[in-house]
Amino acid sequence: MSLQESQGAAARERIARLRQVMQARDVAAVWVPSSDPHLSEYLPGRWKGREWMSGFTGSSGTLVVTHDYAGLWVDSRYWEQADAQLSGSGIATVRTSNAPGQPYLDWLAANVAKGQAVAVDGAVLGLGQARAASTLLTARGVTLRTDLDVVAEAWPDRPVMPVAPVYAHELAPGSRADKLQALREELGRLGATHHFISTLDDIAWLTNLRGADVDYNPVFLAHLLVEPTQARLFISEGKVPDALRAALEKDGIALAPYAEAAPALGALPQGTKLLLDPRRVTHGLRQAVAQGVVVIEALNPSTVAKSRKTSAELAHIRSAMEQDGAALCEFFAWFESALGRESITELTIDERLSAARARRPGFVSLSFSTIAAFNANGAMPHYRALEESHATVCTPGSPSQGLLLIDSGGQYTTGTTDITRVVPVGEPTAEQRRDFTLVLRGMINLSVARFPRGTRSPALDALARAPLWAEGLDYGHGTGHGVGYFLNVHEGPHGISQTMPNDPHTALEAGMVTSNEPGLYRPGRWGIRIENLIATVPDQTTAFGEFLRFETLTLCPIDTRLVEPGLLSRAESDWLNAYHAMVRERLLPHVEGAARDWLLKRTEAL
């Protein structure tokens, strides 16, 4: 039996076990979201129920199981991955668009009979999702059961809670006491006396703490209740060293057991005015709030404050970019010298690049799972090479031909990085150079944008797509996501995307760090994405208001072997040459030997 057949058989056995529990609990369907009690993007093992049940390892997807059907709803980033990983499992891949909506709810409403029940664990279900589901299913006479964790009952070897210790982030500008004071002032303006926070990056930022409970993100599992004169941090016992506990208590933060978060909400006195972010709290925790408490729904103030990096944070981030860029120079120097001389696979690339980063000062971990994708694999935006399924780039003495896409990043104590570069293996074709240059033009178009403060996300997104649209081309993902400061590589509330909510919080403000990553994907052939991180900075103030622009933070050459100069305007060529001059100047002090030679060669002007 092959590995894929074995994995498919395991998924079938787990689905059968789940259906036994469903039968015992008298539910017609189980809805398994990709989430945890903190609505995190990357999940601790304990809450990877959808992955355990289906075998699908993508970071996003929704599993629905009935007594005679199982389907996994995924968007276009994961279609091919889901088809491969679900093979033999009996679970269907349900392809969805990237448009807003929850099509699996429509399916449940259409396929679960009146009088029957749908079960979903309310402890990991977003409040907005719960409300939408309740409205839709109730209208069809279907009961939504959020008090059952059917997956946990079918999961005999479920992982325990993470135990990694929490530590202070010494390079966090601003004291936790000052941050809590500013938060309480904002609560006063909103008419709230208390505030409950579950999002892990908000808690880490407010407390100036970091951890290792979630892969790739230096956060820890906790909830935080901010009260008028103190705050309570609900965290597993033994994770906070005694000295750090004392420092937290000095700043007005008391520790409490993780499991006491919901009971604490239930014990709030009548008349309490509690601020909750409906997009960042679970249905289960909202249900725990005591009767008589006035709930005010608004965005977490810390989410906005955290996104607007201070000048000190931006200075640290620039330092992180120099270290990250130096690691990339070392890696690419090795890669180009090893082509045709060594056996190189997508897995090799991940190993060598990760090792290069690990040698840089301040490195903590990767910021996400490296995407090393050769040729057709590059057409899958969230592709991941696995031991059982990956491509070979070259073998000794064997020439190769194609495009290699590498999307990677690191967590440093000085900042979080995320970069995508595409390099040619062998001689690129004219069509490949044309595709690459169109994507580059879109990336440059956004890089040089100047725009009024308050400009909404979709307007900026269009700038990166315009050169592709002019040729009848497009890509199926957003152009940019927010990035944290030694925190989550995907950070809200901002971004650059057609599908983001059209509200003031999605507009960019000075200090926000965002990715700039247009792409173009030819299924079965190649994928191209060029990604830099950019910081929003003030530009000018005129009679027409405040204007903002972008500072490019990422430091790594863009491979000019893939550029078709005739497709670039003079201004675009000048931007690329100026960018390479900056990269050379900033990185030269950090590299030597082959890495230095590679940097000098790849930053030559067009």
- What is the mean pLDDT of the segment spanning 4-22? 92
Q: What is the pLDDT of residue 70?
A: 97
- pLDDT, one tens digit per residue, over 214-247 is 999 999 999 999 999 999 999 999 999 999 999 9
User: Which residue, of 306, 325, 356, is where some domain finishes?
Assistant: 306
Q: Does residue 219 form part of some domain?
A: yes
CB under 8 Å, gap of 24 or more: what pairs does 382-391 form? 382/58, 382/59, 382/77, 382/78, 382/81, 383/80, 383/81, 384/57, 384/81, 385/345, 385/346, 385/347, 385/350, 387/347, 388/3, 388/4, 389/84, 390/345, 390/346, 390/347, 391/345, 391/346
Average pLDDT over all residues of the chain: 95
Q: What's the N-to-C CA distance of the chain in angstroms? A: 54
Q: What is the share, in percent, of the chain residues with pLDDT greater than 70?
A: 99
Q: Does residue 603 form part of some domain?
A: no
Question: Both 284 and 385 in a single domain?
Answer: no
Q: What is the pLDDT of residue 386?
A: 85
- What is the mean pLDDT of the segment spanning 426-442? 98
User: Which residue, of 252, 271, 306, is where some domain finishes?
Assistant: 306
**53 close to 32: Cβ distance less than 8 angstroms:** yes
Q: What is the pLDDT of residue 143?
A: 96
Look at residue 361 and give its three-state secondary structure. coil
Q: What is the pLDDT of residue 287?
A: 97
Question: Both 130 and 226 in a single domain?
Answer: no
Which range has the worst mean pLDDT, 68-77, 139-148, 589-598?
68-77
Q: What is the pLDDT of residue 1?
A: 65
Q: What is the pLDDT of residue 79?
A: 84
Q: What is the pLDDT of residue 398?
A: 83
Look at residue 533 and give its three-state secondary structure. strand
Question: Both 194 and 330 in a single domain?
Answer: no
Which range has the worst mean pLDDT, 33-42, 91-100, 109-118, 388-397?
91-100
- pLDDT, one tens digit per residue, over 544-574 is 999 999 999 999 999 999 999 999 999 999 9
Question: Both 98 and 175 in a single domain?
Answer: no
Q: What is the pLDDT of residue 387?
A: 86
Say how many C-beta atoms besides its own lie within 10 A of residue 520's C-beta.
21
Report the domain count for the chain. 3
Question: Both 277 and 313 in a single domain?
Answer: no
Q: Does residue 270 form part of some domain?
A: yes
In terms of residue numbers, what domain contains 203?
Answer: 167-306
Please determine, for residue 67, whether its predicted confidence score (pLDDT) is greater than 90: yes
Question: Both 189 and 110 in a single domain?
Answer: no
Q: What is the pLDDT of residue 426?
A: 95
Please determine, for residue 195, whether its predicted confidence score (pLDDT) is greater than 70: yes
In this predicted model, which residue has the larger pLDDT, 457 or 340? Answer: 340
- State the pLDDT confidence band at 99, using cuts at 50, 70 and 90: low
Please determine, for residue 521, whether its predicted confidence score (pLDDT) is greater than 70: yes
Domain containing residue 75: CATH number: 3.40.350.10
Task: Tell me how many helices (H) and strands (E) the chain has.
Answer: 18, 30
CA atoms within 13 A on the CB side of 223: 24
- pLDDT, one tens digit per residue, over 149-187 is 999 999 999 999 999 999 999 999 999 999 999 999 999
Question: Both 122 and 189 in a single domain?
Answer: no
Q: Does residue 275 form part of some domain?
A: yes
Domain containing residue 370: CATH number: 3.90.230.10
- What is the mean pLDDT of the segment spanning 199-214? 98
Q: Does residue 381 form part of some domain?
A: yes
- What is the mean pLDDT of the segment spanning 259-278? 97
Please determine, for residue 36, whether its predicted confidence score (pLDDT) is greater than 80: yes
Phi, psi (deg, nearest 5) at residue 122: -65, -20
Distances in Å between the Cα of 473 and the Cα atoms of 76, 405, 437 are 16, 19, 13
Q: Does residue 160 form part of some domain?
A: no
User: Which residue, of 103, 128, 153, is where some domain finishes?
Assistant: 153
Q: What is the pLDDT of residue 197?
A: 98
Q: Does residue 237 form part of some domain?
A: yes
- State the pLDDT confidence band at 90, using cuts at 50, 70 and 90: very high
**385 close to 420: Cβ distance less than 8 angstroms:** no
Say how many C-beta atoms besides its own lie within 10 A of residue 587's C-beta.
24
Question: Both 289 and 319 in a single domain?
Answer: no
- State the pLDDT confidence band at 7, using cuts at 50, 70 and 90: confident
Q: Which residues partner with 71 through β-bridges?
A: 64, 92
Question: Both 312 and 372 in a single domain?
Answer: yes
Please determine, for residue 399, whether its predicted confidence score (pLDDT) is greater than 80: no
Q: What is the pLDDT of residue 572?
A: 98
Q: Does residue 159 form part of some domain?
A: no
Please determine, for residue 2, whether its predicted confidence score (pLDDT) is greater than 80: no
Extended beta strands in 347-483, E state:
363-366, 371-374, 392-394, 402-408, 410-412, 415-416, 419-425, 450-452, 480-482
Look at residue 2 and give its three-state secondary structure. coil
Question: Both 214 and 355 in a single domain?
Answer: no
Q: What is the pLDDT of residue 155?
A: 96
Question: Both 452 and 559 in a single domain?
Answer: yes
- What is the mean pLDDT of the segment spanning 506-518? 96
Question: Both 270 and 370 in a single domain?
Answer: no
